[in-house]
Amino acid sequence: MAAASMIRSVFKKELFSGKVAIVTGGATGLGRAITEELSSLGCKVVIASRRLENLEKAAQEINEAIPISLRPRVFPYQCNIRNEEQVKSLMKYTIDTHGALDYLVNNGGGQFASPAISAKGWLAVVETNLTGTFYCCKHAYNEWMAGHGGAIVNIIADMYKGFPNMAHTGAARAGVQNLMMSLALEWADCGIRINCVSPGIIYSETAAKNYGGRHVFDEGLHIIPAKRLGIPEEVSGAVCFLLSPAASYITGTTIKVDGGQSFYRSPFTIPEHNSFPPPLEDPELNSKL
Ligand SMILES: CCC/C=C/C(=O)SCCNC(=O)CCNC(=O)[C@H](O)C(C)(C)COP(=O)([O-])OP(=O)([O-])OC[C@H]1O[C@@H](n2cnc3c(N)ncnc32)[C@H](O)[C@@H]1OP(=O)([O-])[O-]
Ligand SMILES: NC(=O)C1=CN([C@@H]2O[C@H](COP(=O)(O)OP(=O)(O)OC[C@H]3O[C@@H](n4cnc5c(N)ncnc54)[C@H](OP(=O)(O)O)[C@@H]3O)[C@@H](O)[C@H]2O)C=CC1
């Protein structure tokens, strides 16, 4: 956010002291808010995404807000989560440099809106959001969490009524939610908790830019019972809660941070038509249905 948020962390200072986290997409939007809150609570955070320049700038800015004696707490690392080798290197770097990997936040991702998705576009979005999350979970588990436990949070999206015009991301996010449930069971015996946070429409400058402007977000206002957009700090609090000891008995679940949007109306309008097959023999009766 360009404007200062009124939301301050509700968690105690040093809640995450001595802990190490990876936040993918941690330089912008939701990921940045999560990184700011985790690092302000004592956590070392490796932020990982494709654009190194962005990551370096964000790390510098966030570190500057931390008392000099406690810096640095945020570390940039270039990684495309679609590339399994790069994901493996991210995990190794984090553990070799910082000695642990307590938390993983799978936030990096995105999509584009289109009613006609090409095969290449479909693969790009599924590989980013579903396969990228799978790679990150798998290698966090292999490299550290299988032997030490840990907590994972995946950021998904409001896809509960389908996701017309963004079918690729709807399918990918539903896949991430189901993956989360499988892993919560498979990895429970290692002391790994894994959950999802499902944001509604959360305004950030970078997200809006990706959609060609703020108007795209404002167009969603009529489907939000809260009658306003969310901000990244409102998502961050839920992520920090799920990582914290306050959530020590919570695994395999999803927290929706969406102002009630997910159980309210769909943004999608179906054109008038009579294309469905008639159920009755009498055409006149059919016309009355
Ligand atoms: C509104 C409220 C809800 C908000 C939710 C949010 O998530 S906010 C967060 C918002 N933040 C983000 O979403 C940030 C992250 N998002 C991204 O990086 C991209 O959206 C990505 C995931 C598609 C990866 O892209 P990439 O370039 O690295 O991938 P690539 O080079 O491998 O294949 C690309 C292929 O995909 C297709 N295609 C791509 N764009 C469009 C389009 N606009 N139009 C049509 N098609 C498009 C095209 O086929 C293209 O191939 P081509 O024709 O070029 O040969
Ligand atoms: N804002 C919203 O309303 C909603 C957002 N979400 C999801 O929340 C997450 C954060 O979005 P938001 O902060 O709003 O938007 P942003 O566009 O600011 O964030 C997306 C982040 O993901 C990173 N990223 C994208 N692709 C990759 C990749 N292949 N490898 C590594 N990192 C990648 C980007 O960094 P870089 O370009 O450097 O790789 C960027 O930092 C996304 O998954 C988004 O889809 C879900 C529901 C609603």
What average pLDDT values come out for the chain (289 residues) when binned by 10 residues? 74 96 98 98 98 98 94 98 98 98 98 95 98 99 98 98 97 99 98 99 93 88 97 98 98 98 95 95 94
- Predicted local distance difference test score (pLDDT) of residue 3: 67
- Counting ligands in written order, the one closest to the CA of 131 is 2
- Predicted local distance difference test score (pLDDT) of residue 94: 98
pTM confidence score:
0.97
- Predicted local distance difference test score (pLDDT) of residue 1: 44
Q: Which two tokens stand for residue 9?
A: 């962390």
Q: Is the CB of 118 under 6 A from ligand 1?
A: yes
Q: Which two tokens stand for residue 220?
A: 């969603």
Q: Is the CB of 40 under 6 A from ligand 1?
A: no
Q: Is the CB of 83 under 6 A from ligand 2?
A: no
Classify each residue of 83-93 as buried b or exposed e, where b means 16 or more C-beta atoms within 10 Å of its C-beta.
ebebbbbbbeb
**Whole-angstrom distance, CA of residue 285 vs CA of residue 109:** 50
Distance 155 CA to ligand 2 centre (A): 9
